[in-house]
Amino acid sequence: MDLSFSPDQLALKASAIEFASKELNHQLRERERAGEFSRDAWRACARFGIQGLPIPEEFGGSEADILTTVLVMEGLGYACRDNGLIFSLNAQMWSIELPLLKFGTPAQQRAYLPGLVSGDLIGVHAMTEPDSGSDAFSMRTRAERRGDRYILNGTKLYITNAPVADVVLVFASLNPGHGFAGACAFLVEKGTPGFTVSRGLDKMGLRTSPMGEIILTDCEVPVEHRLGKEGAGLAIFNSSMEWERSCILASAVGAMQRQLEACIRYAQERKQFGQAIGKFQSVSNKVADMYLRLETARLLIYKVAWLKQQGKSATAEAAAAKVFTSEAWVQSSLDAIQIHGAFGYMTESEIERDLRDSVAGTIYSGTSEIQRMIIARTLGL
């Protein structure tokens, strides 16, 4: 496994760090307190090329390979303290852009990908329901074929980007008796009769990433808006999840690097009992543990990216990267607060925000418990 990066790849990461530090942190404390999504930051990311990283040039993207994409997202996470914005970007890239690229018709790709890449459109997928979370395919949302249309009825909950989305990839069951084999996916545009976002949801963290509930009431969707074949919902969802689990926490690696550097600086500067607190083993051991978690998470994510770039399956590896990195980010966030003491607990320090944002990583894209189940099954258990 060769993980040496080219000068061009490293330069792109460096430019992402410079871009994010200059353009994505403005008034973050106020926006985070208000739970405000920044369209200006979203469009700035599009101009830089974030949304188009994995997308072919014909649709406005840069067609970057997955290792390059992971490297850039790591740089973004390092310099952009707005973890909510990055989460919304990831939600669009992996849950609707790549499904469109892999399963979409040429007409569907032309209709949506250029706008998603340019920042003119915002998209996401809708799978989770009030009674369907980890057991994703027990969903109750139904699709009924009537001539050249499908009629959708159901409720989707905890949907990232829902309040601002222009297009949503909605999963519904065409034949409930067939279980996951009866699932389909549909591209539903904002403004479609019967499609409503009923409420925004207030969250512990990732507050600048909007989340909402979607209600589908006799929502008519043309046949040409079905993504893939009838019954292809499982294939679409699984393909999306493997990419998402491979890439969505690359930015967390960057955030953990930022945390580590901040803790080292503080441990060198802060003095107690006549010496820098970094001289105390109770503090220096925490810093060492943060370093170990960071390097392990980085290697796990790079390995998954390398496997995907080789065209190989990475089911267990993606699950391992996701569960380890998400839990490592939580623990390193706790350590960062502990090292900074009372100041770290204050919102003005902007240190405690990472803890609130990191907890969601153990839940979204499959909980830590589900990731461990996936790993165990690949080991024959």
User: Is residue 332, in this structure, part of any structural domain at all?
Assistant: yes
> Do 373 and 253 fall within a single domain?
yes
> Do 79 and 27 fall within a single domain?
yes
Please check the confidence at residue 181 and state whether its pLDDT lies above 80: no
> Do 225 and 301 fall within a single domain?
no
User: Is residue 242, in this structure, part of any structural domain at all?
Assistant: no
Point out the least confidently predicted range of 10-24, 190-204, 212-226: 190-204
> Do 179 and 254 fall within a single domain?
no
> Do 261 and 371 fall within a single domain?
yes
Q: Tally Cβ neighbours within 10 Å of residue 312.
A: 10
Please check the confidence at residue 132 and state whether its pLDDT lies above 80: no
User: Is residue 271, in this structure, part of any structural domain at all?
Assistant: yes
Point out the least confidently predicted range of 150-159, 290-299, 308-317, 348-357: 308-317
Check: CB of residue 126 under 8 Å from CB of residue 162: yes
> Do 178 and 224 fall within a single domain?
yes
Chain position carrying tokens 């790079």:
302
Q: How confident is the model at residue 137 (pLDDT cuts 50, 70, 90)?
A: low
Going by C-alpha positions, the residue among 80, 104, 67 that lies closest to residue 32 is 80
Check: CB of residue 207 under 8 Å from CB of residue 353: no
> Do 62 and 132 fall within a single domain?
no
Check which CATH number belongs to the domain holding 270 and give it: 1.20.140.10
Q: Which of 244, 261, 317, 352 is catalytic?
A: 244
Give the end of a domain, one of 230, 259, 275.
Answer: 230
Q: How confident is the model at residue 234 (pLDDT cuts 50, 70, 90)?
A: confident
Structure token pair of residue 171:
């999963």
> Do 271 and 292 fall within a single domain?
yes
User: Is residue 41, in this structure, part of any structural domain at all?
Assistant: yes
CA 291, CA 327: separation in Å to the nearest integer?
14
What mean pLDDT is predicted for residues 165-179? 87
Which residue intervals of the chain are DSSP H helices? 7-23, 28-34, 39-48, 66-79, 83-92, 98-103, 106-118, 233-247, 250-269, 281-309, 315-345, 352-358, 368-378
Q: Could you tell me the residue range of the domain that residue 74 belongs to?
A: 7-122
- pLDDT at residue 179, rounded to an integer: 65
> Do 257 and 371 fall within a single domain?
yes
- pLDDT at residue 177, rounded to an integer: 67
User: pLDDT by residue (tens digit) across 286-313?
Assistant: 999 999 999 999 999 999 999 988 988 8
> Do 104 and 13 fall within a single domain?
yes
> What residue type is assigned to position 316 of the chain?
A
User: pLDDT by residue (tens digit) across 255-266?
Assistant: 999 999 999 999
User: Is residue 262, in this structure, part of any structural domain at all?
Assistant: yes
What mean pLDDT is predicted for residues 130-158? 88
Q: How many folded domains does the chain comprise?
A: 3
244 part of the active site: yes
CA 232, CA 34: separation in Å to the nearest integer?
39
> Do 158 and 106 fall within a single domain?
no
